[in-house]
Structure 1
Amino acid sequence: MLLKISFWALLLKLALSATDEFTFNGFRDVNLSMDGLAGITSDGLLRLSNATMHANGHAFFPVPLRFKRSLADNVFSFSTTFVFAIFPEHPLLGTSGFTFVISPSKDFTQASENYFLGLFNRTNNGNASNHILAVEFDTWYSPEVKDIDNNHVGIDINSVISNKSHHAGFTSDDDGKFQNLILLSSQPMQVWIDYDGIDMQFNVTLAPLWTPKPKTALLSSTINLSSIILHHMYVGFSASVGTSYSYHYILGWSFKMNGINAPDLDLSSLPPLPQNLTSLEKHDKILSLWMPLAISLFVLINAVGVIIMVVRKKKFAEFHEDWELEFESNRFSYEQLYKATGGFNDKYLLGIGGFGSVYRGLLPASKVEVAVKKVSHESKQGVREFVAEIVSLGKLRHRNVVQLLGYCRRKGELILVYEYMPNGSLDNFLFNQGKPTLNWSMRFQIIKGVASGLQYLHEGWDQVVIHRDIKASNVLLDSDMNGRLGDFGLARLYEHGAAPQTTNVVGTLGFLAPELARACKVTTSSDVFAFGAFLLEVACGRRAIEPNKQEMEQVLVDWVFANWKKGMIHETRDPRLGEDYVLQELELVLKLGLFCSHPLPSARPSMRQVTQILNEVAPLPPLLPYQCHFSGIDSQLHNKPE
């Protein structure tokens, strides 16, 4: 019996099962799906809201988790813990609140703010079709939704009206007495949410930070979640603000599926909270008591000057080692980049990916616009080689390659400086409905430009450069909308003719060549495989993997191949193109994408062949159905469809 599940579908399922447990001690360099007011501060705090009023913010783990074996089964046991703090505009006046939420979708564009908590609106509030489970931390008393007070925790099922709620606090293990907690206190608190899938027991526990988990839960309820939780669901947070604002911060978060004890957070590693006005006033009073009144103004000014110098030195401290002297001309100072980005201010944030945050900057002296990427790098081993490769990559010169200008080193962090691309990344134009649609002519030119740039990396420079992360989000557009391959943070360099060395498998699911799972050796052929997925992204206007779609449509290459077998490959084009495309070019790109995605490395074309095919210098070889049998294609079919 033929195997019906494709190789890529299996790979997707394995990837999803690998994310059933995670721990974030701070959110610096963490890849989350965020919208609205949500963002990550430079210190690594997840901020769900800001000083904006009447708005929402959402942050989700980027891929859905599997909560059931099948739709008919009971929900698995799960557990999560997180640390939060709420900073209100007015110490005694709250404004809605935030929730931990489990939802079938990350899209809450239709949700209302204020007491709807950014989850529902007047039309869908209470609908069983929502399939939403949330735990609310509410700081606003709303009689219309039957709130018990303005400082409570509640369990919400498909509605903002809580099934069960309780005044915020905890029961002390020492004396058994209930102790109130003020959610608006600006103090960090820890939450534990546990669900026992066998006993169907749902518990919510709250305590001040550094207090062990109380034995008695704040909320405990028997709930059968089987009709509420679907097969795959997203986990994350939602926050809402109304007539006044509050800053809702999450400091750390862990989650575990198939278990009732989420991984412990390392509380000592959590990012610091901003210092609020109240604590500053107290600090000033303490200083005034101890500061001798007779101290002279001259001494005071000098003391302040010394403090400023020490703080400044610590603030702009960098890592320098002797071996870096040869790279000094390629190094930027941290102070220079700090000023260029306004202190890595969120308003200059261009994007956040799995490997770092990117900021727009203006170099103070030259007034040159740059893109500054902060990359976490905790390991001392290999840093010298990494920096040497970064400096070497700075010598690349090609019209379709973003130039790497230099680097900076901090403790546990590398900062890369690129030339700035004013039109941002290609994926914004392909997948962001708010951006104008790229016509086919522009897409085809971008494809040919990226192919030319990748051929240069593989063949046209002193060393072989293997990019390792080719995808639409790493193709940037200059002022003339030319496609330029960027983000060389994962690139590897080899001498021409040398055998690639074994390395860690990194990259993006859907773009990883199948041989990497076996050999862990990146080659130019593995880059070609990723380029094939990129071609399909551009032509189809779809991401390489979309878990929310039907099973046969989740993996883009499988879906395109299935349509090719039926003689309908052109039907996979981006519907936003309408009829504005050249059929011959469109089919060429789609078939070339499948050809580059061949499961056997030896069967894939080189980038030189790819550019020749795109420029009609060489013909596209025939593609046969049996060539992709590793992707679940019926290997018994050998006749090309009419």
Structure 2
Amino acid sequence: MLSFSLFRSVIEDVGIGITSAGICGNQSTSESSTFNKFMEGFLSDIRVATPKTSDFYVSSIRTHSTGNVTLYAIAQCIENTTQTICQDCLNMAYNNIKDCVPNTEGRAIEMGCFMRYSGTPFFKDNQTTNIRQFLKEVDSSKVGILVAVIVGVGMIFLIISISLWFRLRKRSKAHKEDSSDLQAAVNFSYKDIQLATGNFSEEHIIGKGGFGEVYKAILHDKNVVAVKKLLVRHGRARVEFDNEVKLMSNIRHRNLVRVLGWSSEGPELLLVLEYMPNGSLDRFLWGEARGSLTWKQRFEIIFGIARGLAHLHHEFHIKIIHRDIKSANILIDEYFQPKIADFGLARFHSEDESHVSTKFAGTLGYTAPEYATHGHLSEKVDTYSFGVVALEIISGRRCNDMNSHRSDMYYLLEDAWRSYENNMHLKVVDENLDLNESEQEHVKKIMEIALTCTQSPVGIRPTMSEVVLMLSNERSLVRRMVGNKSTFITLDKKD
């Protein structure tokens, strides 16, 4: 299991204050001391119930006896663990988060688990878990609790031995499981990966990135995976490796690439990912498969990217900003569905902050101006990048390529804005697309949605959840949302 020290440094990087008492809000309740006991009791029940659930996840609501205050809480352990390890982790999280009381919000992030409470809901539709069934045995008698503690102390070495045995057994079977049955990242043997990639031979390379190559690997159980190799000599490689494993090993969404496992035994850091047979999106836009995508396929790719980002920003219990959305980081599966990949630069973002200031990281051309210029990071940075990628999908052009068939030479984004203002949307559309009349109208609508995502200032850009709704809407209601020339974003032209 990887250390969470880097996990904490990532959180510090986006400006969340961390103390030995946990991550606490800055507002406290004015309720009496009995309310503090109520809060601690609720969190303790969450701690007890979570390891007993089938997926190690609990979301619950409890109202104080006065009826004046309602408290919301969630807790989760990583899926590739045992009930005992989950319980031990949440015990540590509870000891940290209870120090936040009487503050109205607090959270604790430990090695392999997460706990949070707040006086406001986390989600629009706050689904809850009935935890009473998991607390009955605890509430039965104080004698039972005392006996459990005594037995627990007496059996601690046996539990550790059994836990280690199960983990070793699970590791030995990791490569015998079907990839569709993998539920979380596992630690692969370096030698097995080395063998599966033909000793990392060039003929197995399917992609290259800033920190190493990506290989196609066939495990001895015949499952095909992708192996991303990060060279240790690069200063940021370890940070990116830890970041990607922690972020993605427990996120499940059909438009996000799954991390199946890792290996840090050998000279390189290795990520084992699900294999995408069709490669990256840029291959279909300006690579060897250029022009092969129909408009229906392109729209589904745009829609899938939006859904993946909406999940990261609004549906997962921690807001995640990708920071490097571009066509090269969108992979295409065998059904031509998109999956967002490469989370090495991703960052957590506090829900109570409009933005944070941090060092720039990403790819110029896809980066929002407020981030590239001032380092202001928010989820709207991903929204901007999404808009640029959507325009690339519509046009079949790179964002930094100038139009080559017109006398007035502009980069893609500027060209799209000018075409929109002159009601000449179709001049931007990929010439390889043979669109009928209804498809032409649909393309115009999607182009307008993409342009709303690239507006400045940042406050008038939609959220990715709003983008998903607009893409789902049959009517084109976005024309009024697209800015006029006063919101036009000027790009520097080549000399």
TM-score (norm: length of structure 2):
0.56
Separation in 2 of the partners of 1:552 and 1:411?
54
Q: CA deviation at 1:471?
A: 1.6
Residue 397 in structure 1 maps to residue 256 in structure 2:
no
The reply to whether residue 523 of structure 1 matches residue 382 of structure 2 is no
Aligned residue identity for 1:562: R
Is the CA contact 1:598–1:627 (under 8 Å) kept in the aligned structure 2? no
Partner residue of 1:638? Answer: none
3-state SS in 2 of match to 1:415: strand
Q: Is this contact kept in 1: 2:211–2:234, CA < 8 A?
A: no
Which residue number corresponds to residue 292 of structure 2? 437
Task: State how far apart, in whole Å, the 1-side matches of 2:283 and 2:247 are.
Answer: 30
Contact 2:312 2:320 in 1 (8 A): yes
Say whether the 8 Å CA contact 2:241–2:269 is kept in structure 1: no
Pick from 467, 473, 487 the counterpart of residue 616 of structure 1: 473
2:490 match = 631
One-letter amino acid of the counterpart of residue 530, structure 1: S
Please give the residue correspondences for 1:335-374 in structure 2 after superposition, counting only pairs within 5 Å: 335-364=191-220, 366-374=221-229
Trace 1:244-283 onto structure 2 (pairs within 5 A): none
Deviation at 1:547, TM superposition (A): 6.0
1:420 maps to a residue whose letter is Y
Q: Which residue of 1 aligns with 2:457?
A: 600
Q: Judging changes above 3 Å, is the alpha-carbon distance between structure 1 residues 602 and 552 closer, same or farther for their aligned structure 2 residues?
A: farther
| Runs (5+) with no aligned partner, structure 2 | 1-183
Contact 2:357 2:375 in 1 (8 A): yes
Aligned to 2:433: 577
Specify the SS of the correspondent of 2:377. coil
SS at match of 2:369: coil
The verdict on how the C-alpha distance between 1:548 and 1:576 changes in structure 2, with shifts beyond 3 A counting, is closer
Where 1:421 maps in the other structure, the secondary structure is coil
Cα distance, 1:353 vs. partner? Answer: 2.8
CA–CA distance in structure 2, aligned partners of residues 378 and 346 of structure 1: 20
2:309 aligned residue (454, 473, 492): 454
Q: CA deviation at 1:388?
A: 5.6
3-state secondary structure, aligned to 1:577 = coil
State the 1:454 CA deviation: 0.9
Distance change (3 Å), C-alpha of 1:341 and 1:547:
farther
C-alpha distance after superposition, 1:535-572 (max 9, x if no partner): 10000010111269589545210011111222211121
Alpha-carbon distance between aligned partners in 2 of 1:384 and 1:489, rounded to the nearest angstrom: 8
The alpha carbon displacement at 1:442 in A equals 0.9
C-alpha distance after superposition, 1:202-258 (max 9, x if no partner): xxxxxxxxxxxxxxxxxxxxxxxxxxxxxxxxxxxxxxxxxxxxxxxxxxxxxxxxx
Shift in CA distance, 493/390, structure 1 to aligned 2, threshold 3 Å: farther
* Matched-pair contact (CA < 8 Å) for 2:276–2:332: yes
444 and 370 in structure 1: CA distance in 2 versus 1, 3 angstrom threshold: same
Q: Letter of the aligned partner of 2:459 in structure 1?
A: S
* 1:330–1:391 contact (8 Å) kept in structure 2: no
Gaps of 5+ in 1: 1-327, 634-642
Summarize the Cα distance change of 1:500–1:381 in structure 2 as closer, same or farther, 3 Å threshold: farther
Deviation, 1:609, is 0.7
Residues 306-325 of structure 1: matches in 2 within 5 Å?
A: none
1:558 alignment partner, one of 414, 429, 441: 414
Report 1 or 2 for greater relative contact order, CA contacts < 8 Å, sequence distance ≥ 6: 1
Give 1 or 2: higher helix fraction. 2
Higher strand share: 1
1:520: Cα distance to partner? 1.8
Structure 2 vs 1, CA of residues 503 and 414 (structure 1 numbering), >3 Å: closer, same or farther? farther
The 1-side partners of 2:408 and 2:322 are apart by 30
Q: In structure 2, what is the Cα distance between the partners aligned to 1:530 and 1:449? A: 14
Q: Answer with 548-557 or 522-531: which moved more.
A: 548-557
Q: Give 3-state SS (helix, strand or coil) of 2:324's partner.
A: coil
Secondary structure, counterpart of 2:467 in structure 1: helix
> Secondary structure, in 3 states, of the residue corresponding to 1:582?
helix
**Residue aligned with 2:401, SS:** coil
In structure 1, which of residues 500, 503, 516 is the aligned counterpart of residue 358 of structure 2?
503
- Other-structure match for 1:247: none
- TM-score w.r.t. structure 1 length? 0.44
Alpha-carbon distance, 1:408 to partner: 2.6
Q: 1:489: which partner in 2?
A: 344
1:475-512 residue CA offsets vs partner (Å, 9 max, x unmatched): 11111111111121221223543576543312222101
Larger CA Rg, structure 1 vs 2 = 1
User: Cα deviations across residues 112-158 of structure 1 (Å, max 9, x unaligned)?
Assistant: xxxxxxxxxxxxxxxxxxxxxxxxxxxxxxxxxxxxxxxxxxxxxxx
Q: Is the 8 A contact 1:552 1:559 kept in 2?
A: no
Q: Shift of residue 344 of structure 1?
A: 1.1
Pairwise CA distance, 1:355: 4.0
Cα distance, 1:329 vs. partner? 6.4
Aligned AA for 2:470? I
Aligned positions of 1:144-293 closer than 5 A:
none
Alignment CA distance shift 1:511-1:436 (3 Å): closer
Residue 433 (structure 1) shift: 4.5
Alignment partners' CA distance in 1, 2:428 and 2:318: 38
1:397 CA drift (Å): 0.4
2:276 counterpart letter in structure 1: M
Distance change (3 Å), C-alpha of 1:380 and 1:497: same
For 2:193, the aligned partner's letter is L
The 8 Å contact of residues 389 and 492 in structure 1, kept in 2 or not, is answered as no
Asked if the contact 2:403–2:411 (Cα under 8 Å) also holds between the matched residues in 1, the reply is no
The SS at the match of 2:383 is: helix
* CA distance in 2: counterparts of 1:547 and 1:571, whole angstroms: 13
Alpha-carbon distance in structure 2 between the residues aligned to 1:632 and 1:495: 31
Q: Which residue of 2 aligns with 1:468?
A: 323
- Contact kept, 8 Å, 2:358 with 2:375, in 1: the verdict is yes
**C-alpha separation between the residues in 2 aligned to 1:462 and 1:441?**
32
Q: Structure 1 residues 463, 382: closer, same or farther in 2, change over 3 A? A: farther
Asked if structure 1 preserves the Cα contact closer than 8 Å seen for 2:186 and 2:260, the reply is yes
Please tell me the residue identity of whatever aligns with 1:540. Answer: S
**Overall identity of the aligned pairs, in %:** 33
Structure 1 pair 334–547 and aligned structure 2 pair: CA distance change class (3 A): farther
